[in-house]
Amino acid sequence: MTDTWLTTLITRTPQEGFELAITLSRRGVKYTQPDVSVLKSLRSEYANSADSLTAASQVIAINFQTIAAANGYWRK
Region 25-52 average pLDDT = 94
Q: How many CA atoms lie within 13 A of 67 on its CB side?
A: 26
Report if residue 1 sits inside a domain. Answer: no
Report if residue 29 sits inside a domain. Answer: yes
Region 46-73 average pLDDT = 95
| Residue 1 confidence (pLDDT) above 70 | no
Report if residue 19 sits inside a domain. Answer: yes
Q: Measure the CA–CA gap between 19 and 7, rounded to whole angstroms.
A: 15
Could you tell me the pTM of the whole model? Answer: 0.85
Report if residue 4 sits inside a domain. Answer: no
Report if residue 22 sits inside a domain. Answer: yes
**30 close to 39: Cβ distance less than 8 angstroms:** yes
**23 close to 33: Cβ distance less than 8 angstroms:** no
How far, rounded to the nearest angstrom, does the alpha carbon of residue 4 sit from its chain's CA centroid?
Answer: 16
Number of domains the chain contains: 1
Q: Measure the CA–CA gap between 74 and 56, rounded to whole angstroms.
A: 24
Helix (H) or strand (E) holding 71: none
